Structures are given as C-alpha cells and as structure tokens.
Amino acid sequence: MPEMELHVWEGEPEWGIPSMDLESLQMMLYVKFAGAPVTIIKSAMPASAPSRSLPVFTCSEGNYTNFDSMTTFLRKQNYSCDHDLSGRQCADVLAYGNLLKDKLYPALLYLWWVEPNNYTNVIHNWFYSRMRFPFKLWVPSNKHKVATQFIEALYDEPDNTVALETELLKHAQECLTMVSHRLGEKDYFFGQSPTAVDALLIPYLTLLLKVDLKVPVLQNHVKACPNLTRYVLKTLQKFFPNESGGGSSSSSSSKSRSSSNRPHGNTNSSSSTTNQQASTADSDFPNKKRNIAICAVLAAVANVTYAVATGLVQMQGTSKENRYLHN
C-alpha cells in the first residue's frame, strides 16, 4: 500500500501536548491505537498541507479531513482498534461520541476561542507565535469568528454571556462526571485495550488538563477526578513518550516530524525532509513578492478591524468624548 500520511497541528512539548488541536489529536491517537503505518507530520502551516487545511489524512484514495472519514477508510484496510468489541460496545462508542460532541465540544470551543481572557491571553498568543507571517494575522482571528458564530447559534440569547457560559460549563461538568464514573479504575473505557471512544475522549481531557487557561473551571474538574487524570497521563506517556522532551515521537507504526518555527534536535534525514517540505511550500507561491504584498495589506486591515472591534483601540470621534466601536 502507498504511504499514508497524517498532517496535523503541532503541539506544545513544554506542556506535554502532542497537538494543540482537538481533531488532530483524536486522529493521531486512533492511528496509534490501530497500529496503522501512518507517518504523522506536524505543522503550524495549514497552507502547506495537501488540503490547505489541518488536520488531513492522505492516502492513495485521496484526502480525508476529519476523524470519521479517516477511521472509515482505515477500517476498510483492516486497521481498527474496535475489532474485539461486542455489538453493544460498538453502540456505546457511537453514543459516547455523540455525548462528547453535544456536551463537551461546545464548552471546549467556548473556553478556547470565545471566552475573552482565555482567547486573548493564551490561545491566540500561542497560535500567533507558532504561525508564519502573514497567515498568523488572520488564521487565529478566523477561528475565533467561526467559534463565536457556532456558540451563538446554539442559544436563543447569545448576548447573555453569563447565562451562556454557566449552561455550557454545567453540561460539560456533567459529561466529565459521567465519563469518570463509566471509566472507573480501568485503563481504558472497555478494559485493557484502547478503542475509538478513548481516541475521542482523551484529547478533550488532555487539552482541558494541560493548557492553563485564565478560566480553569473544567481543568479543576478534571483534576478533581483522579481516574481521569491518570487515564490521560498514562496514555500520553505510552503512546507519545518523547513529546514532553521537545523532540518528535516515533514508533513502529508511525513517525512524527515537527515543522515548528523553533529549532529541534532532529536528525539529518528529518532536517532534509523539513527542508523539502519548505521548498514545496515555496513552490506553491510563484509570485511570492506580489502575494506577500497583498497579504500584508489585507493583514493590516484585518488587524486594525479586529483591534477596533474588540475595543483594543479607541477611536476619537468628532465630540470631545472618546467612543468605542463595537461589532
């Protein structure tokens, strides 16, 4: 079979996080659990990925940009971590997947990309510091905009932020308590071996536990469930043993290459691969100077608009009083 690759958002080794993106981490874990011979390529440049977005799984049949489509393809190739599950357990996988999507996903999305203190001081800063110019100027802001629209669509009164946040966090805490009781003292959801539900759940817990947000409500809840904390740490240590050391992790089933802006202790072959990827990315932009100039203008406009819209910049009106412009 031709080589299969999984392009994902890079992580933060200092925090012990293999990827700073939920679906990237879910897809990475499934590949590890299933033992699929997939090369994992980490990046903070969606434009350099085959689909111009992250994450994306590439194979002979094309590109798959989400967890469900990738796992469906891998199962057809006999790479699955659910072979030994009963019919009832397979139904539970679907049920808990829907539970996480309905109850935990909106809360994580809100805490990361909508809540002002978390977004401005932690999440935006991290993505901005990792991405190249000019993409760093609008990719985080676009993620913020999409997340805000998603959250607002869930509620009749999105302007009532206190009530919205209270309800989101309440549902998420109930979900965390439920999965904690269901997990009990087992290594994984269904016993000694990881399955798809573990690949879905552990990334949520990882991002909630290991990223120190300014509003740490759910982080504190996870810490208050020792079995969830142990569940996360043991799994990351087993399947990503070198992530906290600043290098890329590899196993018999997958190899990781990081294209972070900061230096890493890679081998010569890894450096060669990284340089080849950079050359490929450059070749995608034949009119590089023109594109950079256009992007710079657009980025400047986007930055000013964002700063004004969020109240970071005050505009002097015709009256003697300062006025703030809002969306």
- Phi, psi for 48 (deg, rounded to 5): -90, -5
Radius of gyration of the chain (CA): 21
Average pLDDT for the chain: 80
42-87: per-residue pLDDT in tens? 999 988 888 888 999 999 889 999 999 999 999 999 999 998 899 9
Q: Give the separation between CA 180 and CA 228, rounded to whole angstroms.
A: 6
Q: Is the pLDDT of residue 150 over 80?
A: yes
Most confident of 135-139, 263-267, 307-311: 135-139
Q: Residue 326: is its pLDDT beyond 80?
A: no
- For residues 212 and 322, the model is more confident at 212
pLDDT interval class at 272 (50, 70, 90)? very low
Residues 6+ apart with CB under 8 A from 261: 44, 130, 132
Amino acid at 7: H
Sheet holding 62-64, edge to edge: 62-64, 56-59, 4-9, 38-43, 256-258
Backbone torsions φ then ψ of 271, nearest 5 degrees: -65, -40
pTM: 0.75
180-194, 233-247, 308-322: which range is least confident on average? Answer: 308-322
The confidence score (pLDDT) of residue 176 equals: 98
Which tokens belong to 292?
A: 């950079």
pLDDT at position 262:
37
Residue for token pair 């996988």: 93
59 pairs with which residues across the strands? 62
State the Cα–Cα distance between residues 171 and 203, nearest whole angstrom. Answer: 18
CB atoms < 10 A from the CB of 64, how many? 21
Of the given ranges (27-41, 166-180, 207-221, 261-275), which has the lowest mean pLDDT? 261-275
Beta bridge partners of 40: 6, 256
How many Cα atoms occupy the beta-carbon half-sphere of 98 within 13 Å?
Answer: 5
- Name the band, by pLDDT with cuts 50, 70 and 90, for residue 297: low
